[in-house]
Amino acid sequence: MPWFDEVGYYLYGIRLLLEGKLEGLKWLDFSDRGFWRSWWAPVFCLPPMLLNWAGVRIYYLSTMPDGASAGPSFIVKLAVLDVSNWLLCYLALAVVMTIAGFAAFVRPMIVAINWLSVPLQWLGILVSLALIFAPGDTDVYFSALLVLLLVSAGAYFLVIRQIAERKTLPSLAFLLTLVVANIWVTNVVSDVLGLPS
């Protein structure tokens, strides 16, 4: 497991990529070792993810009749949904990138997106807090969610574009692949698990 100083090194590289500086690529490890170590990113995302699951649970219960319950199995289902999204979206992205002739960039793309997910997950705390403290106020929730979605889409595009040799159209296609795959996986897995979509 990478330590905080190593993660800080990678996040600095992500910051440079977001600023449009290709030197950010030098701060990321695209070797076999670096690829597998990037899969520790979800561990550093776990605190905000736990907060999000708690928020979703509170929001879900606020929409249900009195006496409804959402025990540990509900949280497990949310975890399964997030893991499914993480893996299946990457699978879709790898397929599209390979078809588009960018197969050599699949590994760097996954490494970069894994580490980009860390600051974006922590930014998502704002949405989680809206769910926890104002579960009945949909305006607050959807406003926070909209800001998060716009910031996330912009960040993903900027990083994807740097990895894809600054080619705009392929980068937009790869971003769209992630968005469509996320929506599809969320709906399908939610239906299978009996979660509200």
- Digit-coded pLDDT (tens) for 72-100: 899 999 999 999 999 999 999 999 999 99
pLDDT at 25 over 70: yes
Q: Which carries the bigger pLDDT value, residue 28 or residue 134?
A: 28
**Across residues 159-185, what is the average pLDDT?**
96
- Which percentage of the chain shows pLDDT scores above 90? 77
CA angle 42, 150, 159 (to 5 degrees): 55
Q: Distance between CA 40 and CA 34 in Å, rounded?
A: 10
- Give the pLDDT band (50/70/90) at residue 139: confident
Predicted TM-score of the model (pTM)? 0.92
Task: Name the DSSP class of 154.
Answer: H
pLDDT at 65 over 90: no
Q: Distance between CA 72 and CA 56 in Å, rounded?
A: 13
**Across residues 9-26, what is the average pLDDT?**
96
Task: Name the DSSP class of 70.
Answer: -
- Give the pLDDT band (50/70/90) at residue 67: low
Q: Distance between CA 190 and CA 188 in Å, rounded?
A: 5
Mean pLDDT for the chain overall: 93
pLDDT at 176 over 90: yes
- Which percentage of the chain shows pLDDT scores above 70? 98
pLDDT at 64 over 80: no
Domain spans of the chain? 4-193
Q: Which carries the bigger pLDDT value, residue 11 or residue 61?
A: 11
Q: Distance between CA 187 and CA 32 in Å, rounded?
A: 33
